[in-house]
Structure 1
Amino acid sequence: MKELEKPGRSSAEGNMFLKFEDLRVKRPLGVVYNVFLNLPPHAEPRADSPSYVGTLSFFGVTAEARSPKSIAMPMEAPLQRLLRGGRAISPMTVTLLPTRPPASDAAPTIARILLVGENP
């Protein structure tokens, strides 16, 4: 679980996005990660949870500094589910859970996780 590095601000011109910046791996992971926003402690992490955002794949990501990869996930529906459920959305935490154990020497990293209020 990681608290968002910078809180985003709402934008009248676009939707909210959860942005993962500068993804890197030493070698292919062979796994995807389920992404959750404000997953309660001891809650079972399931795809039908109001906290579920989607899946994050490192497909095509390398360790090369010349080609950092960033991924943005739409947040309008996940934020609405949390609000409808009466759940707080501040402070925001992001939890990434692999669908199965990743390759032990893959060493995945994400430099920053941001909530942005415009199309990244």
Structure 2
Amino acid sequence: MNLRKKWIHWWAILGLLMGLSVFVSSVFAAPQATTVSESSPQPQRYVLDNGMIVILQELHTAPVVALEVWVKAGSITEGEYSGSGISHYVEHLLFKGTEKRGVGDTGSRKKSGKEIPSKFICP
């Protein structure tokens, strides 16, 4: 086979594969997202005995459960005691060390590729 026929052969195979991939992706495509209608139940608010607020909204458009937890804690909620609460204590543990971790351990963990999530680092 000469070079021109080989190229035509490969382009034909490539075209066939691309057409097949479009067909397969359309057959197995995810269903279109449904929008929350006006008749959807409104969120319900509950206050637990320990003061925690729970907001619940049921949407039966997909067979999944999603959960988010928000906590009113951290330096922003310390008010006039800013710098003397738990967030300041955790900051000292992270950056000034503990009995098991020295002052430079946090930095060496970062350099070694082990990430420290930003949610554990106080502003």
**Which bracket does the TM-score occupy, shorter chain normalised?**
under 0.3
Q: Kindly indicate whether structure 1 or structure 2 has the higher relative contact order, using CA contacts under 8 Å at least 6 residues apart.
A: 1
- The structure in which a higher percent of residues are helix is 2
Larger Rg: 2
- The structure in which a higher percent of residues are strand is 1
TM-score normalised by length of structure 1: 0.21
TM-score normalised by length of structure 2: 0.21
